[in-house]
Chains A and B, each alone.
Chain A
Amino acid sequence: MKLEAMAVTLPEVAGHPNRAPFTGVLTVVDEPSTKPPSGARGHRVILTRRAALSALPSLLGMAVDYAPSWDGHDSRRKCGIITHADVEGSRLLVAGYLFAKDFPEVERQVRQGLPGTMGMSWELADAHVEDMRAEIWTLTRATFTGAAILLREKAAYRNTSFELAAARCRSTLTRFAPAECVQAGATGRFRDGARVALPKRPLRKEQTWNHQQAKTWSR
């Protein structure tokens, strides 16, 4: 298995009220989309692995947005930021923070929905199509300009996902590492990648924090 990762490290702020870490599968590479994406003139598309890897730097620091109907993008509703991007196998995995305090409706939607309901969608600019006449467009070059959280059925790629880390485990992405803070959706390899990418926190401190949070929530 080949893993290509990239990350921007944000300073850690324990118990940040506005940071809710998330992980997600943004897309799959080298595979045709399940449905034609918007703007592809009815063609399904394949984002090549090479194009995705070249475009990874453009993905970091980009925002995640959402539409109130959860069926598309709304670039004026930026509710989070992408800080990690990995290509693991054929999946392009992302991680970052949701501005949970500013957008409680997003947190609510993700947490209260059935597991696997939410997915992700990328937004590309200046994409280069190898052959415009092909039935399935092959994108050989592109720039990521953002991503959206939406209903998985509304995404052009069916195998996307969006997960928030367990409630109140939101100080850093290293909180993905302990088992109690990990929800389904992020793979072990990806968690390892995220853990390597960010400085480790002392385990004891971590456990104390989790214990305190569990107590708070049990009240």
Chain B
Amino acid sequence: MESPTGENMVALTEGMERMESRFEAAAALFERAATLLEERESSMSGEVRKIVAAVETSREAELQKKLDAAEQQIAELRAQIETQPEMHAKSARKTVPASTAQFLAKQGLSTLESVEAGALDAALNGLSLEQRIAVKAQLLRAGVVS
């Protein structure tokens, strides 16, 4: 059984812990408020590096428009690649030369989706060393084998 002093100590410690957590929460809240205020301040007033009191020429405006369009296109393509990696892989496989694809098809490798090392070696068996290296290099470049 704990003594009354011990109980008091426990209660005090618990109270202090509660207070500490509340202080922490308050500090976090203050921090968030300060960040928001800073953001608001920066949006209200700001520095502009360079202003020229000449109107933008049509050529400049046209170039700016083109640049914006190009940047948007780049961003879209990047997003497309990131969201559809399979499509990227497929498009890479298209770069295998037709003669190589034809040769591999003759050897029984009609699909290039997944080429096993053993099957590939067997298919290339009839070729000379240089030809085998060339075909493998082409497949490597195309991303069929890694």
Contacts and interface: CB of A to CB of B under 8 A. Distances in A.
Interface residues of A, number: 35
Interface in B40-80: 43-57, 60
A174 interface: no
A129 B41 CA distance: 12
A35 B52 CA distance: 11
Interface string A117-143: 000011111111111110000010010
Given A127-B47, A128-B47, A133-B43, A39 B52 contact: yes
Interface residues of B, number: 16
A130 B44 CA distance: 7
A88 to B, nearest CB: 18
A210 to B, nearest CB: 35
A35 B43 contact: no
A139 B60 CA distance: 24
Contact of A156 (B49, B50, B55, B60): B55
A73 B56 CA distance: 11
Contacts of A110: none
Contacts of B53: 27, 33, 37-38, 121-124, 155-157
Q: Which of B44, B51, B57 has the largest number of chain A CB atoms within 10 A? A: B51
A93 interface: no
A72 B55 CA distance: 8
A72 B51 contact: no
Contact of B55 (A27, A131, A154): A154
A35 B57 CA distance: 12
A39 B55 contact: no
A59 interface: no
B48 A40 contact: yes
Contacts of A126: 47-49
Contact of A73 (B43, B46, B49, B52): B52
A30 interface: no
Interface string A82-126: 000000000000000000000000000000000000000111111
B43 A125 contact: no
Given A38-B60, A131-B44, A154 B49 contact: no
A36 interface: yes
Contacts of A33: 53
A126 B49 CA distance: 5
A148 interface: yes
B61 to A, nearest CB: 10
Contacts of A37: 51-55
A132 B43 CA distance: 6
| A-B residue pairs, 7 tightest by C-beta | A121-B53, A39-B51, A156-B53, A121-B54, A38-B52, A72-B54, A127-B48
